[in-house]
């Protein structure tokens, strides 16, 4: 039985705390979670992903507000878990904290300030404007969207990309401004 064929009453019962409905829902959802994990996880992580998603489902099902969104919520949980397990398996740290600590410890306050300003200055205008409105003027994403007359998703995207660009500019060795100053 596929997720789309699960009786909405089962999901509603599980949401209201009915243990039997939750157990049946976990049992019925497992094959679809596994199939989806097979497509998105590394082969060695599939079983772990399925187990974690089933645990997440049993613990956080009450956070689901719309019963019709159950399958997409479940697939989103599976995709996120596959990504998390992939980062763990590959020892991938998207923030590269060691390089950030090295960068922070390598210069004095004025040098760091100059590097941050240089990194901000290197951003395209659209990204710089959003980042400054958020971090310097402390505006909310909604206020930024209204002020720049762009959509809220565009604000979030530009803010994320701007932060990523600044971070990369600061911790990437070939962009180290101290080397240019020497």
Judge whether 108 and 181 are in contact, CB under 8 Å: no
Give Cα separations from 121 to 113, 124, 134, 148, 161 (angstroms): 12, 8, 16, 19, 15
Q: Is 155 helix (H, G, I), strand (E, B) or coil?
A: helix
CA gap 29, 53 in Å, rounded: 10
Residue ranges in the chain assigned as alpha helix (H): 8-15, 19-40, 46-60, 70-89, 97-105, 109-121, 125-135, 141-148, 152-171, 177-181
Closest CA to 127 of 168, 98, 87: 168
**pLDDT given for residue 113 in this prediction:** 82
Mean pLDDT by 10 residues, the chain (182 residues): 72 87 89 91 88 90 81 88 78 60 71 84 93 89 94 92 85 51 42
**pLDDT given for residue 82 in this prediction:** 87
pTM of the model: 0.49
CA gap 79, 75 in Å, rounded: 6
Give Cα separations from 182 to 86, 108, 127, 149 (angstroms): 40, 15, 29, 43
**pLDDT given for residue 100 in this prediction:** 64
**pLDDT given for residue 54 in this prediction:** 92
Burial annotation 112-140 (CB, 10 A radius, 16+ → b, else e) = beebeeebbeebeeebbbbbebbeeeebe
In the chain, the domains with their CATH numbers are: 3-89 (1.10.1740.10), 97-181 (1.10.10.10)
The full DSSP string for 102-123 is HHHHTS-HHHHHHHHHHHHHTS
**pLDDT given for residue 182 in this prediction:** 40
């Amino acid at each position: 039985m596929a997720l789309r064929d699960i009786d909405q009453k089962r999901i509603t019962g599980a949401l209201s705390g009915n243990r039997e409905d939750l157990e049946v829902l976990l049992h019925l959802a497992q094959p679809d979670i596994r199939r989806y994990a097979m497509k998105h996880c590394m082969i060695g992580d599939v079983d772990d992903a399925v187990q974690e998603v089933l645990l997440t489902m049993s613990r956080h099902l009450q956070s689901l507000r719309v019963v019709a969104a159950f399958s997409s919520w479940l697939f989103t949980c599976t995709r996120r878990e596959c990504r998390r397990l992939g980062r763990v398996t590959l020892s991938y740290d998207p923030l590269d904290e060691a390089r950030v600590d090295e960068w922070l410890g390598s210069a004095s306050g004025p040098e760091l300030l100059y590097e941050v300003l240089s990194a901000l200055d290197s951003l395209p205008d659209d990204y710089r404007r959003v980042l400054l409105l958020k971090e310097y003027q402390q505006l909310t994403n909604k206020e930024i969207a209204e002020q720049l007359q762009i959509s809220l998703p565009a604000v979030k995207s530009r803010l994320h990309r701007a932060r990523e660009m600044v971070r990369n500019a600061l911790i990437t060795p070939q962009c180290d401004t101290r080397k240019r100053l020497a």
